[in-house]
């Protein structure tokens, strides 16, 4: 649709703005053409320097003229007193047209969308692994280390609020996740949306040994993995029916405490009580590499660096956090730090700039992560509750249109699920609210629902020692419980949604894994 026809459809968009737009496009094409013509000249002819200088001067004058004229038109437009609602309507319609033409846009500031695009442009994670310490791209033009900044959390929260408050009443923050949530949820309430029709399948290949972690593959609806204290990892396929165990990864000599999918889902990293981490190829189940813990201690948790999957962070029983380069099998220089207890939980923020680690003495530490070198710098410490192990940490840039602050979801052995607000760029936490669950001794985990809610409120899901899966609305002041799934015969240790929330997997201390199917509206 042409701009002139679009402004006519809106009513009264000043024609001077359209003229400025055409002038801008003309300036861009003029400059582009001049630059392309300049690139084709490989040799400078004698006596041509004066002409080139004159051309550059002319382009600078043209650009200056455009900027001055644009500023004049903006001032005149402001004096004319055009209603702000008209501008918002124009931006909304413009966004819809762009979305129809080019597809939905990614979440603002989403490092995950950025990193996924990088992953899809390469063949596999292993093919693009490079030693970060020797990576020339981590250096500036003159060989200096280049720092990567994504802005402070205070600024992010303010931007989230500004985007929301600039929308007309009754609308939502325009993100692809919100549009996807709207399409799948329809006009149902939050409680109706998280109603489940029952069990889709039950996996019992790890029966009699606890399954501490279960995870769907990234951006995948039907591929699931779970690890067990029997020392193995199962890769499962849910479609086509019937669901099957594709392969079982064996090699650890003791229980597997944690694992993580790479962004491209081609490899998995696992940690074990046998003091090793292993790199697995998900396609054929082979073990690519075995890496011993630098301290020779039991490894209790792991997580990929979200932007660079060449780096993995592990936590061990000797109170240490290590950043490991999985392509070299070595610890990154400056990438280690000591906590007050056994490291049980790790979580990055979306851009990969902040890392949180929780230990078995009730403390949560925040670290600044150097994107260029992999170095960790200890920033803040929060004592959740002295002596209460922190068993799970989940980070989210923002939860819903009401909860627009960066948030952290924490399980500790307090019979509560805790939701914290991240208040600054050093990871300082402020308690927002808590939800009642049963947890006093088991390593229970929780998650944010992967889709941002289109309607009022947003859900979190957690396991519990009462053998149930609990859903809570983080914004509901009273009666926050949304749903409860019953079916396990032992404490529920972990939960995981697939990418479109059509299936939920939960694992328990007896080795049972249940896949729940959401009701179709």
pLDDT in tens, 461-500: 999 999 999 999 988 888 899 999 999 999 999 999 999 8
Q: What is the pLDDT of residue 136?
A: 39
Give the model's confidence band at 262: pLDDT under 50 very low, under 70 low, under 90 confident, else very high.
very high
The helix (run of H) or strand (run of E) holding residue 90 is helix 84-102
Q: Tell me, what's the pLDDT at 373?
A: 93
Q: What would the mean pLDDT of 337-351 be, rounded to a whole number?
A: 96
8-48 pLDDT, tens digit per residue, is 433 444 444 455 455 445 544 444 444 444 444 444 444 44
Report the candidate in 322, 279, 330 with the shortest Cα–Cα distance to residue 297: 322
What residues pair up with 416 in beta bridges, in sequence order?
Answer: 412, 436
Q: What pLDDT sits at residue 340?
A: 96
State residue 231's pLDDT score: 96
The predicted pLDDT at position 60 comes to: 64
Strand 503-508 to 363-369 pairing: unpaired
**CA-based nearest residue to 300, from 352, 248, 342:** 342
Task: Average the pLDDT over 67-87 and give the result.
Answer: 71
Q: Is the pLDDT of residue 196 over 90?
A: no
Beta-bridged to residue 291, according to DSSP, are 277
Confidence (pTM): 0.69
Place of tokens 């081609």: 266
Q: What is the pLDDT of residue 58?
A: 64
Cβ partners under 8 Å of residue 345, min gap 6: 301, 315, 356, 357, 358, 390, 391, 392, 393, 411
167-171, 214-218, 227-231: which range is least confident on average? 167-171
With tokens 């924490």, the residue in question is 410
Given 3-state DSSP classes, what are the helix, strand and coil percentages for the chain, each rounded to the nearest 5?
Answer: 25, 35, 40
The edge-to-edge listing of strands for the beta sheet with 232-237 is 213-216, 223-227, 232-237, 244-250
Q: Which residues of 425-449 are buried (b: 16+ CB within 10 A; e: fewer)?
A: bbbbbeeebbbebbbeebbbbbbbb
pLDDT at 57: 61
- Provide the CA 302 distance to its chain's centre, in angstroms: 16
pLDDT class for 79, splitting at 50, 70, 90? Answer: low
> What is the rounded average pLDDT of the residues 391-418?
87
Greater pLDDT, 77 or 365: 365
Query: Higher confidence at residue 14 or residue 94?
Result: 94
Identify which has the larger pLDDT, 454 or 86: 86
d(CA 399, CA 406): 8
What's the mean per-residue pLDDT of the chain?
A: 78
């Amino acid at each position: 649709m042409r701009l002139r026809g679009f402004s006519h459809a809106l009513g009264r968009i000043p024609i001077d703005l359209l003229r400025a737009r055409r002038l801008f496009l003309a300036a861009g094409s003029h400059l582009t053409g001049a630059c392309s013509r300049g690139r084709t000249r490989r040799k400078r002819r004698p006596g041509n320097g004066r002409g080139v200088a004159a051309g550059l001067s002319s382009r600078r004058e043209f650009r200056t003229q455009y900027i001055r004229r644009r500023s004049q038109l903006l001032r005149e437009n402001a004096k004319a007193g055009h209603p702000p609602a008209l501008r918002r309507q124009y931006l909304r319609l413009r966004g819809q047209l762009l979305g129809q033409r080019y597809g939905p846009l990614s979440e603002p500031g989403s490092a995950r969308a950025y990193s996924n695009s990088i992953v899809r442009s390469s063949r596999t994670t292993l093919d693009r692994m490079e030693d970060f310490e020797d990576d020339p791209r981590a250096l500036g033009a003159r060989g200096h280390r280049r720092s990567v900044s994504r802005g402070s959390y205070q600024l992010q929260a303010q931007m989230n609020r500004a985007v929301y408050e600039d929308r007309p009443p009754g609308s939502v923050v325009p993100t692809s996740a919100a549009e996807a949530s709207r399409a799948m949820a329809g006009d149902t309430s939050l409680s109706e949306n998280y109603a489940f029709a029952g069990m889709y399948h039950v996996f019992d290949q790890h029966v009699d040994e606890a399954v501490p972690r279960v995870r769907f593959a990234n951006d995948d609806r039907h591929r699931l993995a779970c690890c067990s204290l029997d020392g193995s990892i199962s890769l499962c396929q849910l479609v086509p029916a019937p669901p099957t165990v594709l392969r079982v990864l064996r090699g650890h000599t003791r229980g597997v405490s944690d694992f993580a999918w790479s962004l491209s889902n081609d490899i998995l990293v696992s940690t074990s009580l046998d003091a090793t981490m292993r790199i697995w190829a998900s396609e054929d189940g082979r073990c690519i590499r075995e890496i011993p813990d630098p301290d020779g201690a039991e490894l209790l948790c792991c997580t990929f660096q979200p932007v660079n999957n060449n780096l993995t962070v592990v936590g061990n029983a000797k109170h240490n956090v290590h950043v490991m380069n999985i392509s070299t099998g070595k610890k990154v220089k400056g990438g280690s730090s000591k906590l007050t207890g056994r490291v049980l939980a790790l979580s990055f923020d979306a851009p990969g700039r902040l890392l949180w680690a929780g230990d078995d003495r009730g403390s949560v530490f925040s670290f600044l992560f150097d994107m260029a070198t992999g170095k960790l710098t200890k920033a803040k410490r929060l004592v959740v509750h002295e002596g209460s192990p922190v068993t799970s940490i989940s980070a989210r840039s923002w939860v819903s249109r009401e909860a627009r602050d960066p948030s952290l979801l924490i399980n500790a052995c307090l019979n509560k699920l805790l939701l914290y607000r991240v208040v600054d760029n050093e990871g300082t936490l402020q308690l927002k609210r808590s939800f009642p669950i049963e947890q006093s001794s088991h390593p229970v985990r929780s998650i944010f629902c992967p889709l941002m809610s289109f309607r009022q409120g947003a859900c979190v899901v957690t396991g519990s020692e009462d053998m149930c899966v609990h859903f809570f609305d983080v914004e509901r002041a009273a009666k926050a419980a949304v749903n409860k799934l019953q079916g396990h015969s032992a404490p529920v240790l972990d939960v995981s949604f697939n990418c479109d929330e059509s299936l939920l997997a939960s694992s328990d201390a007896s080795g049972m894994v249940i896949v729940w199917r959401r009701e179709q509206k």
